[in-house]
Amino acid sequence: MADKQQQVVVKRARHKSSVKDPGTPGVLKMTKDRFTFMANDPSSPVKLNVEFRTIKGHKFTKDGTKQALLNLTQDQGGNYIFEFENFPDRNVCKDFVASAIALSGEAGRTVPEKSAVPIQDEQLSAAEMERRIKLLQEDSDLQKLHKQFVIGGILSEAEFWATRKKLLEQNYSRRPKQRVALKNDMWSTKPLADGQSNRVTFNLTPEIILQIFAEKPAVRQAYLNFVPNKMTEKEFWTKYSRAEYLHSTKNVIAAAAEAAEDEELAVFLKQDDMLVNEARKKIRQVDPTLDMEADEGDDYMHLPIQDHGLPRNDNKDVLDSQYEPYRRSFSQHLNQHAAVVLQGRVIDVELGDTRSVAEALARTKHAELAKDASDVYLDKERLERISRMTEIEDLQAPRDPAVAPLSIKDPRDYFDSQQANAFSTLGDTVSGAKQLKCSVSTREAYCSLKECISEIKFQGLTEPTINSEVAFKVLNGLAQNISSNKYHLGRNPNESILDSLPKITREELLLHWSSIQELLKHFWSSYPITTKYLLTKATKLKDAMSQIYPKLQEIKESVQSDLRHQVSLLVQPMLQSSVFMDQAFCCRL
* Least distance in angstroms from the C-beta of 479 to other proteins: 9
Query: Which residue, 274 or 420, has its beta carbon nearer to other proteins?
Result: 420
- Minimum distance from residue 417 beta carbon to other proteins (Å): 4
Alpha-carbon 59 to chain mean position:
34
**CA-based nearest residue to 552, from 497, 499, 503, 515:** 515
Site string for other proteins, 384-403 (x = CB under 8 A): ---------x--x-xx-xxx
The nearer residue to other proteins, 8 or 406, going by C-beta atoms, is 406
- In whole angstroms, give the CA distance from residue 580 to residue 572: 12
Phi/psi of residue 231, nearest 5 degrees: -150, 165
Task: Choose between 162 and 471: whose C-beta lies nearer to other proteins.
Answer: 471
Number of residues that bind other proteins (CB under 8 A): 73
Find the shortest distance in angstroms from Cβ 492 to other proteins.
10
Is residue 3 at the binding interface for other proteins, with CB under 8 A as the rule?
no
What is the signed CA dihedral for 311, 316, 320, 323, rounded to 10 degrees? -70
Preceding omega of 118 cis (within 30 degrees of 0): no
Residue closer to other proteins, measured from CB, 371 or 450:
450
Nearer to other proteins, 224 or 584 (CB): 584
452 binds other proteins per the rule CB under 8 A:
yes
3-state secondary structure of 30: strand
Could you tell me which stretch among 89-97, 113-121, 471-479, 511-519 binds other proteins (CB under 8 A)? 471-479
40-49 residues labelled b (16+ CB within 10 A) or e (exposed): eeeeeeeeee
Chain length of the chain: 589
Which residue blocks in 190-299 are alpha helix, DSSP H?
A: 206-215, 217-226, 233-249, 252-261, 263-269, 273-284
Residue of 75, 372, 336 lying closest to 187 (CA atoms): 336
Pick between residue 310 and residue 397 the one whose CB is nearest to other proteins: 397
Nearest to 97 by CA among 48, 170, 150, 29: 29
Using CB under 8 A as the binding rule, the residues of this chain from 58 to 97 that contact other proteins are none
Of the candidate spans 69-77, 231-239, 474-482, 544-552, the one that interacts with other proteins by CB under 8 A turns out to be 474-482
CB 154 within 8 A of CB 540: yes
With CB under 8 A as the contact rule, the residue among 1, 290, 318, 436 that binds other proteins is 436
Distances (CA, A) of 97 to 8, 47, 454: 11, 19, 102
Interface with other proteins (CB under 8 A), residue from 18, 313, 315, 442: 442
Scan residues 234-293 and list those touching other proteins (CB under 8 A).
none
Tell me how far, at minimum, the Cβ of 567 lies from other proteins, in Å: 16
Cα–Cα distances (Å) from 112 to 100, 102, 107, 118, 485, in that order, read 19, 17, 9, 11, 48
| Binding status of residue 507 toward other proteins by CB under 8 A | no
C-beta of 560: minimal distance to other proteins in Å? 20
Which CB atom, from 408 or from 436, has the smaller least distance to other proteins?
436
Please say whether the beta carbons of 10 and 27 come within 8 A: yes
Residue 50: partners with Cβ closer than 8 Å, 6 or more residues away: 34, 35, 36, 72, 80
Nearest Cα to Cα of residue 148 among 136, 131, 166, 163:
136
Tell me, residue by residue from 512 to 531, as one string, x for binding to other proteins by CB under 8 A and - for no binding. Answer: ------------x--xx---
Report 410-429 residues binding other proteins (CB under 8 A): 414, 417-426, 429
Closer by beta carbon to other proteins, 62 or else 388: 388
Closer CB to other proteins, residue 290 or residue 466?
A: 466
Contacts of other proteins in 547-586 (CB under 8 A)? 573, 580, 583-584
| Among the residue ranges 306-314, 352-360, 368-376, 466-474, the one whose residues contact other proteins (CB under 8 A) | 466-474
**Minimum gap (Å) between residue 394 Cβ and other proteins:** 9
Q: Which of residues 132-151 bind other proteins (CB under 8 A)?
A: none
Min dist. Cβ of residue 450 to other proteins (A): 5
Q: What is the closest distance, in whole angstroms, from the C-beta atom of residue 465 to other proteins in the complex?
A: 5
Q: Does 500 bind other proteins (CB under 8 A)?
A: no
CA distances from 516 to 136, 291, 543, 548 (A): 20, 65, 12, 8
Dist CA 150 CA 115 (whole Å): 11
Q: Which is nearer to other proteins, 343 or 448 (CB)?
A: 448
How many angstroms separate the CA atoms of 277 and 298, rounded? 10
User: Per CB under 8 A, does 456 bind other proteins?
Assistant: yes
Among 2, 19, 283, 471, interactor with other proteins by CB under 8 A: 471
Q: Determine which residue in the list 43, 76, 430, 487 makes contact with other proteins, applying CB under 8 A.
A: 430
Distance from C-alpha of 506 to C-alpha of 497, rounded to nearest angstrom: 10
Q: What are phi and psi of 95, to 5 degrees?
A: -65, -40
| Among positions 172, 323, 330, 446, the unique one binding other proteins when judged by CB under 8 A | 446
CB-CB neighbours of 29 under 10 Å: 16
Cβ closest to other proteins, residue 321 vs residue 439: 439
Which CB, 271 or 572, lies closer to other proteins? 572
114, 284, 450, 551: which one binds other proteins (CB under 8 A): 450
Eight-state DSSP code of residue 6: -
**Which listed residue (224, 231, 349, 489) binds other proteins by CB under 8 A?**
489
